[in-house]
Homo-oligomer: A and B are copies of this chain.
Amino acid sequence: MDYSEMKPCEVRELIRQGKITHQTSGMCNGFAQGNLLILPKAQAYDFLLFTQRNPKPCPILEVGDVGSRLVKRMADNADIATDIPKYRIWKYGELVDEVTDISSLWQDDFVYFLIGCSFSFESELLAADVPVRHIEEGKNVPMYMTNIETQPAGIFHGKTVVSMRPMKPEYVIKAISVTASMPRVHGAPIHIGDPAAIGIADIHKPDFGDSVTIHEGEIPVFWCCGVTPQSAVMSAKPPLAISHAPGHMFITDVKNTLLKD
């Protein structure tokens, strides 16, 4: 089944019916996908402030009203409790379960946060003829814990997680220029070159995702990553949090090109 040319509302309907429970990479070409974090209102202020202080790893696309499952701004007729293929349940910072629907878990005090995803800028990199290695190799992007502290806010703190794409110098220049114009999906890189400078001991052993080939003469380019909120949840240990499972994103009705603002 090829989901790349389907409309976001059609794919969300299949997800809602439980017919899609796998990763959303490559679905609905050109449309932005989003990371999810859900917290009770009691922790929502601290997390909203955390995103304000850390806009590169946590660029907000939409925050729901308290208790509302409805997505208003990034999609029409979407339900955040059913329209993601796989969710993760976190208790006191520990991953305790993975489920495909959270309707029965929904609470009147829940607030959802939709956060920009690098899938959006990757499609713009490809459009600018910048090759993206993990896509060429059919892998998940390599992601690393760094020694870069986030700006703490209330209970939330922790290190920044980055994703890495290796490329030749001429592509580095183009990639910086393209992504700098997309602050709502992580923006410009946070580091280029030496992995050790940001606390990465072995570039071939990512903490999340897959290792990719780095050719002679290529520079590793590091972007802030939407896994950072999950890292902050692990550090803050709130009683309850719900996230998407990595790669199982919310598909919006908004085109990637519209996130250039």
Contacts and interface: CB of A to CB of B under 8 A. Distances in A.
Interface centre among A44, A48, A73 (most CB of B within 10 A): A48
Contacts of A65: 153-154
Nearest to A45: B45
A17 interface: no
Contact of A63 (B52, B60, B183): B52
Contact of A52 (B41, B52, B66): B52
Interface residues of A, number: 17
B52 A49 contact: no
- 9 closest Cβ pairs, A-B complex: A45-B45, A48-B48, A49-B63, A52-B60, A52-B63, A48-B49, A44-B45, A48-B52, A45-B48
A43 to B, nearest CB: 11
A199 to B, nearest CB: 23
Interface of A: 41, 44-45, 48-49, 51-53, 60, 63, 65-66, 73, 151, 153-154, 183
Nearest to A51: B52
Given A52-B60, A65-B153, A66-B154, 15 more contacts: A41-B45, A44-B45, A45-B45, A45-B48, A48-B48, A48-B49, A48-B52, A49-B63, A51-B52, A52-B52, A52-B63, A53-B63, A65-B154, A73-B151, A183-B183
A60 B153 CA distance: 15
Nearest to A64: B49
Contacts of A49: 48, 63
6 contacts: A41-B45, A48-B48, A49-B63, A52-B52, A65-B153, A73-B151
A227 to B, nearest CB: 21
Nearest to A151: B73
A45 B45 CA distance: 5
Contacts of A44: 45
